[in-house]
Amino acid sequence: MLCFCGEGIIPWPQVRVRIHMQLWRIERVSSREPLKPLRFTWVSPCISDKDFLMFDSRPLYGFIPPYILNRIIAHGSEQQRSSALGTLTHVRSLRHNPGPPDQPPAAAKLPRPGKAGHPQRSVHDAQNTMELPGQPVRLEGQPASGDPAVDEAYDALGATYDFFWKILGRDSIDNKGFALVGSVHYGQGYENAFWNGAQMVFGDGDGEIFQRFTRSLDVVAHELAHGVTESEAGLVYANQSGALNESISDVFGVLVKQYVLEQTADQADWLIGADLLTDKINGDGLRSMSNPGTAYNDPLLGKDPQPSHMREFVITREDNGGVHINSGIPNRAFYLVATTLGGFAWEKAGRIWYDTLCDRKLANDASFSDFARLTVEHARQRFGAREVQAVQDGWRQVGVDLTQER
């Protein structure tokens, strides 16, 4: 149990809180180092680490985290600030848990229904408006349009479908052949991509910080994986369950990319959004699963804030309780498991994570520990002692307690 009281002392052994860039970061320190009082602006009764408060009262949902957009608004040029502010204002209106896929947009033009194993893709052009889905440009089976954004979206939707069907036996995001609708050229200088419960939407970026979002296959797969999560566990998009929601999308995002590139776990770069940043930004991508906190370090965007261990777990008012931040912890756990087992990451580690996501015992408010224990269980059910040990070691190396019960 954690208690916030008095002048800000936290009676948790070997832990202190440091205020850092609007984030409250919990760090383990030497037991001989005194805890210095910090004055907090609020007082909370005792709560469990799983039930940490959702500090952000305005849930945000999209690939680019709000703290990056806020940095651009604070430090960018006039054009950069305008694009980021417009994006952030819109993202605040999105539902953070849109629910399981029900039906594609009513106005979307769809291909004829096909049989399982064959995607139903429909790519539309929003023509730099914010009206969805826009004009149909390329339907399933039609030739390339010549518009890079349209064709990239079409190919990425197909690659993601193929991965889930051929590797996991899943027929689209709802496992019922749901049509994959995407809209490109959304808004003007729109700096995000998102899944709204019915379709994918891609902005073109501002051209100075972000390039068009269809360039990054793992971004497309990441957002579609949110639809898979909504169809299965429906993980609440806040705090640890929200960070798991984000991490699972990162996991399947990199797995789809590795599958297309035919990369083993050791060959992969384990970066999310590596194709998004322009050469004006000092960064390799938006997130690194192998080494969270190192993806970028740029005067405009700041430094990647992701932790790689529970001792660095961030408590923040932003980002739905840090869903894009603390996802670095389960991300690194997956990377450690996948590289320990070797070979193609989707064959064992990916299968274990997918089985866990589809397990009805996974609560929608699951903590890291809840999810971790189920991954161990599924490693045992599907594989054997070596895989169980790899999963246990992966979680332990990032400080997630496998014995903690609800």
- For residue 77, which amino acid is it? S
Beta-bridge partners for 135: 125
Return the SS3 of 391: helix
Of 131, 103, 91, the residue nearest 320 (C-alpha): 91
Residue with tokens 């106005």: 107
What is the residue-wise DSSP string for 257-281? HHHHHT--TTT---EESTTTB-TTS
Query: Which tokens go with 210?
Result: 């972000």
DSSP SS3 for 107: coil
Structure tokens at 334: 């997956």
**Is 198:104 a contact under the CB 8 Å cutoff?**
yes
Closest-CA residue to 233 (of 99, 397, 335): 99
DSSP character at residue 311: G
Strands of the sheet with 23-28, listed across from one edge: 15-20, 23-28, 314-316
CA atoms within 13 Å, Cβ hemisphere of 161: 21
* One-letter amino acid for residue 79 of the chain: Q
At residue 180's C-alpha, the angle toward residues 271 and 352, to 5°, is: 50
How far CA 203 is from CA of 12, 32, 36, 212, 299, in Å, comes to 44, 51, 45, 6, 24
**Cα 186 versus chain centre, distance:** 21
Please identify every residue annotated as catalytic.
223, 324
Q: Is the peptide bond before 133 cis (omega within 30 degrees of 0)?
A: yes
Tokens of 20: 């850092």
